Structure 1
Amino acid sequence: MLNVGIIGVTGYTGIELLRLLQSHTHIKVKSVFTASYAGQAIAEVYPHLQHQTSLQGEKLNLDEITQNCDLVFMALPHGHAIELIPPLLAAGKKIIDLGADFRLKNQSDYQHWYQHPAAPETLLQQAVYGLPEKGEKENIKNANLIANPGCYPTASILATLPALKADLIDPDDLVFDAKSGLSGAGRTLSLNTHYCEASENVYPYQIAGAHRHTPEIEQELSLIANKKIIIQFTPHLVPMTRGLLVTSYLKLKKLISKEEIYKIYKEIYHKEPFIRLCDHIPQVKHVKGSNFCDIGIQIDARTQRLIVVSVIDNLIKGAAGQAIQNMNLMYQFPENFGLNSNTVMYP
């Protein structure tokens, strides 16, 4: 039995981790830590977990983690994991960081985009980017530190990877239009996610290359293409709780049939348990509550563009579910263990 801990359990990502892990037959959640609700039963903070867990939130205690846990999930805002990880690695613990602190390999990039000192270079190079379908499974299996990808990058990279690998598209003309539910903004109160502001409203934010997921997408696509890539990325908040949709506009080098492109995508993804290639245009409701990424493709012959629509549940494949998928690979459990939960979702 694998003993795990969760640091930051009472955010939306942390509580989704706990919910999903309740149905994982190979692990036991030993300790959960929260700065906001230390001393309270988790089921009191989140009543949807009544009769599912008897765990109580605790103040962070690294000694307890060292004694009780084999693996630690960190579901913290950026900047908070950097100082916690070195002593845990030194104690022989494995770590999956769901924050942004280890996603960007370039220290100056991190400092520019996150306005916070970067992690040491040795740790950045040690961290494995945990997007299994990108061809990282062997690296993930051997990793001690996983940088769990962001939600927008997950959907954007998976939509683009096969076309980029097959050299079908112009890497200098990549446009991503993305829409996310409000849970992606986290549980902290803000004006933009206030009901009266968000209801019956859709709005772009951090546009013109200002969103922090932009360099993450560019970094990973550049590695795939073996050249520096700059993208156009525009995210929007939409009035739903869960779900994320990316429409990718990819300029074809030459016109090719939809059937040929579908075949290329299928060759790359046919063994992936969580990618579903659709013969229709997918919708966020098709993946809500799951770890699936649904992908649909169309060709616009007039503009010679490949249009790829990818959808995920931002809290699962975009965060907690992908973290569990990575854990399963690290410990050679079946990849889908713990990802077919029947427990109640919240939010």
Structure 2
Amino acid sequence: MSTKVAVLGAGSWGTVVANMLVENGHDVTSWAYLDKDAREINDQHTNEHYMPGFRLNANLKATSDLAAAVEGAELILFVVPTNVVRSTAQQLLPILQATGNKPILGSLAKGLEKGSYMRISQVLDDVIPAENRQAVVVVSGPSHAEDVATKDLTALTAASTDLAAAQRVQAIFANDYFRLYTNADVIGVEMGAALKNVIAIGAGAAVGLGYGANTKAALITRGLAEISRLGVKMGADAQTFIGLSGVGDLIVTATSEHSRNWRAGNQLGHGERLQDVLDNMGQVVEGVSTAKVAHELAAKEHVDMPITEAIYSVLYEDQPITNVIKGLMARDAKPEFEE
């Protein structure tokens, strides 16, 4: 059964998801912030800035008019950077109020909002009242746009407190290479998705500094431990962090050159300045802003996150990476698993 879907955000992930859903047989409109990007998708069936060389399905429609993009949509997916989720939702609310449409809202963004420390689903809940939507579903897990574009076998999580809504999204996304599993632990799924970007910066930096597989394994494993500590403190189920949006997403983001967070860390490890790295990346590196939010949230909740703190000190306190690594290795000895 065809579903009318609006995909808000025409970056690499938004473009590939929109294209996949068209190929799944759905009526999809992509909302691009810039009119030139919408015109390119419609006229050339490409999005060269974000997905160079990738040919889009001719049935994918695009517009820079938000009202036109969401008209009649049963599912609206937010695939915009974390720092513009709130403003995008604020633009969407009066449209929904005027039309009376009550769609499922889906979040495919991965981050925590600065200042409020809110997860993306909380931002959507905060801006768009329950009377103007059906439910909020978070789609997250180990996925790079470049791999999904080539139809690499991919498994993610659809998390929601509304199981029926999660199952609806699960069915819309399902095909022979893309699979969703439902999960009720929205907190755990979103915390894992956001915090792994910080650890991925550290993993990239380690490789840039010349460290090998042992270091990578230690960073991923101990990084997962501190992600879990903060997540559980915020109300998550510990089991979620050994699932797709926990260890799964952490592995792919901390090991793949497709990851912007890994690439940013790698360039820092090679001695490049943070601002130069960000200026040359061409897309948002979510882990940089998340490191600051995680640093503040960990202090507020009294949660020990040494790797996150180390990465924060490199990004925001201009600490040399080599000194930071020495500091991590000089920490007091302790049991692997705490009571």
What range is the shorter-chain TM-score in? 0.3 to 0.5
TM-score between the two structures when normalised by the length of structure 2: 0.42
TM-score between the two structures when normalised by the length of structure 1: 0.41
- The higher relative CO (CA closer than 8 Å, separation ≥ 6) is in 1
- Higher strand proportion: 1
